[in-house]
A and B are shown apart, each in its own frame.
Chain A
Amino acid sequence: MDMTQAIILTIMTAATPLLLAAIGELVVERSGVLNLGVEGMMVMGAVCAFAIAQLTGSAGLGAIGGMLAGLLFSLLFGFLTLTLVANQVATGLALTILGLGLSGMIGEAFIGLPGLKLVAVPLPLLSDIPFLGRILFNQDPIFYTSILAVIGVNWFLFKSRAGLRLRAIGDSHTSAHALGVKVVRTRYLAVMFGGACAGLAGAHLSIVYTPQWVENMTAGRGWIALALVVFASWRPTRVLAGAYLFGAVSIGQLHAQALGLGIPSQLLSALPYLATIAVLVVISLNRRMTLINTPASLGKSFVPER
């Protein structure tokens, strides 16, 4: 493996959890729901994936467990905001705080244990392609899932009837309701999808990225994912670009430091944020396109008329 490959692989590892969490949240927000609990769902996914991998001895089951944990945790948010119509912003923040605390409690027994790593699954034939094969087709299953999720979500939102309905709900839940679309049910499904993605993103942290459990190991990645969705103006392909750009600049700045280029490290540390914001703002400059993509009902509660 040469150095270029090594660097690209590091970038992909850094980008995968951001991409997964962001693509899940994108669907949630497209349905008009703002779930600020991504960080909390992610950290719950991380702790549950680690715990289940430890207890069953299978990292694969850990990944599934992490995904389910995120999904279940998101149901709490769904129940509070969709059924009880609580404020979405406050509930989302509470979900994050609860997730960080609860995961610390669950994870107490697992601190200081080396974890199981989810092994790479080389795809037959494809992984033999020189250079690219090693990078793209010799990866862990969570990476493949993240790419499939982007393709799937893009198709679903813009090519399927169900996706059209979901976007309609996000733009105007009242009109969609009047047309007979099941607003609350669709939103529940979107929230659950977001939870599963965030949980899997957390699982990636604790069984692929750094196979261990430490409290608060998400270290703000849920918030970065949330920001990516907005800066990508709710377009799946732009979320993909944003996550990889963020990953690339993050890793690039570490290499620049190790090379001793003499650029102030504080500036380099801020660079991933600056670069990602700058690029995504530039590609969303078209105001009309941005307006079309912004879910108009985002964050608004829906109470069906009786």
Chain B
Amino acid sequence: MKKTLLLLAAATALAGIAAPAQAEGMDKVKACFVYVGPVGDFGWSYQHDQGRKYAEEKLGDKLETAYLESVPEGADSERAIERFARSGCNIIFTTSFGYMDPTNKVAKDFPDVKFEHATGYKTEHPNVSTYDSKFFQGRYVIGQIAAKMSETGMAGYIASFPIPEVVQGINSFMLGAQSINPDFKLKVVWVNTWFDPGKEADAAKALLDQGVDVLTQHTDSTAPMQVAAERGAHAFGQASDMIAFGPETQLTAIIDDWGPYYVERISAVLDGTWEQSRTWDGMAEGHVVMAPYTNMPDDVKAMAEETEAKITSGEFHPFTGPIMKQDGSEWLAEGAVAEDGELAGLNFYVKGIDDQLPQ
């Protein structure tokens, strides 16, 4: 981290002299990453950093990287991104939803730098791409597992912020659970943070106290897994394989694998073939990976593997009608499949979720 800052300072000083030259193809690329949490969160930011390291390994001398961690979303992130752009980064990956507007704003002033924003939907300038993974595919599988494994017929969901990506996950989890048990109940707690181990643990305890026996989370630390382990409940790992924190607790984990994407995009800059894109890949492309199915009977495991295979092959899409909205009105008719564009802006719950979506 300190090294990164030093590099940044040095590079900033040089920026006035050496404006980033953008020729057809390059010999060496500098790729920079902005993370919302610490690289040691063992969750979201950790996985992005694993992707960065993977790219370094694959591209060797042709790649130089830098990163900034724990950058708050909003105005602070704009400064961080701008600093990177000034310091001679050729491609900048901004890895949190809240960096969406700052990324686009900075991109306007630095047309020669490529910007890649994770999980957002705005590409206001030709040098901005978006990328995301279809985590909801994994959420459907764990929803099914939860419904099979829960004795109380009730799961707890620790949610971060009411953005489309999180809402997709909750809906997909519930649809998966309902496909097994139509009366399944889901309790949702919003902690309004991506990363606060203590608060995540408190939310986990509150949910368990209220009778749920399976926990899932859309926050970044391993704390909920540990609480579930202590209380003898089940839980799902988030972003990375958290089995070490609950050897007898974790059923599976939805693992984010960003490495291949980073290699692909950085290579495109090296070759001079980078173009604006909106990538949203999932299990089929290997961006969403399920950790081994553990602590469950063989029939549940077989069911999970079958669903995973069907989603991977494209035979099944978690958002396939008939699906009702929370208020009972129809969203998707029998056999209809939700469009990617609609999912990317998802802002309502499906029927059966006992929570009011914060707006």
Contact in complex: B190, A212 (CB < 8 Å): no
A223 at the interface (CB under 8 A from B): no
Given A209-B201, A254-B203, A269-B190, are A214 and B209 also a contact pair (CB < 8 Å)? no
Contact in complex: A210, B201 (CB < 8 Å): yes
> Closest B-chain residue to A211, C-beta based?
B226
Interface size (B, Cβ < 8 Å)? Answer: 45
User: Once bound together, how far apart are the Cα atoms of A212 and B242, in whole Å?
Assistant: 12
Given A111-B42, A112-B244, A215-B39, are A258 and B206 also a contact pair (CB < 8 Å)? yes
User: Once bound together, how far apart are the Cα atoms of A214 and B46, in whole Å?
Assistant: 11
Contact in complex: A250, B189 (CB < 8 Å): no
Against A, the Cβ 8 Å flags (1 = close, 0 = not) of B334-358 are 0000000000000000000011101
Chain A interface mostly: helix
Contact in complex: B190, A265 (CB < 8 Å): yes
Given A10-B205, A255-B210, are A104 and B198 also a contact pair (CB < 8 Å)? no
B70 at the interface (CB under 8 A from A): yes
Within 8 A of B (CB), among A207-239: 209-217, 219-221
A291 at the interface (CB under 8 A from B): no
A125 at the interface (CB under 8 A from B): no
Contact in complex: B38, A214 (CB < 8 Å): yes
Against B, the Cβ 8 Å flags (1 = close, 0 = not) of A94-119 are 00000001001101100111100000
Closest chain B CB from A267 CB (angstroms): 9
> Closest B-chain residue to A4, C-beta based?
B209
A251 at the interface (CB under 8 A from B): yes
The contact of A250 among B46, B202, B207, by CB within 8 Å, is: B202
Given A112-B244, A255-B210, A258-B210, are A215 and B191 also a contact pair (CB < 8 Å)? no
The contact of A255 among B37, B40, B197, B206, by CB within 8 Å, is: B206
Contact in complex: B2, A101 (CB < 8 Å): yes
A285 at the interface (CB under 8 A from B): no
Contact in complex: B207, A258 (CB < 8 Å): yes
Contact in complex: B209, A3 (CB < 8 Å): yes
A162 at the interface (CB under 8 A from B): no
User: Once bound together, how far apart are the Cα atoms of A209 and B187, in whole Å?
Assistant: 23
> Closest B-chain residue to A262, C-beta based?
B356
B133 at the interface (CB under 8 A from A): no
Contact in complex: B40, A214 (CB < 8 Å): yes
Interface size (A, Cβ < 8 Å)? Answer: 41
B6 at the interface (CB under 8 A from A): no
The contact of A214 among B202, B206, B222, by CB within 8 Å, is: B222
A56 at the interface (CB under 8 A from B): no
List, in ascending order, chain B residues with CB within 8 A of A69's CB.
none
Contact in complex: A258, B187 (CB < 8 Å): yes
User: Once bound together, how far apart are the Cα atoms of A258 and B354, in whole Å?
Assistant: 9
B140 at the interface (CB under 8 A from A): no
Most buried by A among B46, B187, B210, B244: B210
Closest chain A CB from B354 CB (angstroms): 5
B58 at the interface (CB under 8 A from A): no
B156 at the interface (CB under 8 A from A): yes
B195 at the interface (CB under 8 A from A): yes
Contact in complex: A104, B38 (CB < 8 Å): yes
Closest chain A CB from B117 CB (angstroms): 23
User: Once bound together, how far apart are the Cα atoms of A226 and B221, in whole Å?
Assistant: 25
B245 at the interface (CB under 8 A from A): yes
User: Once bound together, how far apart are the Cα atoms of A14 and B197, in whole Å?
Assistant: 11
Closest chain B CB from A260 CB (angstroms): 5
List, in ascending order, chain B residues with CB within 8 A of A262's CB.
356
List, in ascending order, chain A residues with CB within 8 A of B206's CB.
7, 10, 251, 254-255, 257-258
Contact in complex: A214, B197 (CB < 8 Å): yes
Contact in complex: B202, A251 (CB < 8 Å): yes
A205 at the interface (CB under 8 A from B): yes
List, in ascending order, chain A residues with CB within 8 A of B188's CB.
257-258
Given A212-B226, A215-B39, A215-B40, are A260 and B244 also a contact pair (CB < 8 Å)? no
6 contacts between A and B (CB under 8 A): A111-B42, A210-B226, A217-B221, A254-B203, A254-B206, A262-B356
- Residue numbers of B with Cβ under 8 A of A are 1-2, 37-42, 46, 69-70, 156, 162, 187-193, 195-203, 205-207, 209-210, 221-223, 226-227, 244-245, 354-356, 358
User: Beyond the given A212-B221, A217-B197, A259-B210, could you list 13 further A-B residue pairs with CB under 8 A, ordered by the A residue number?
Assistant: A111-B42, A114-B244, A210-B227, A212-B226, A214-B41, A215-B41, A215-B69, A254-B206, A257-B190, A264-B356, A264-B358, A265-B192, A266-B358
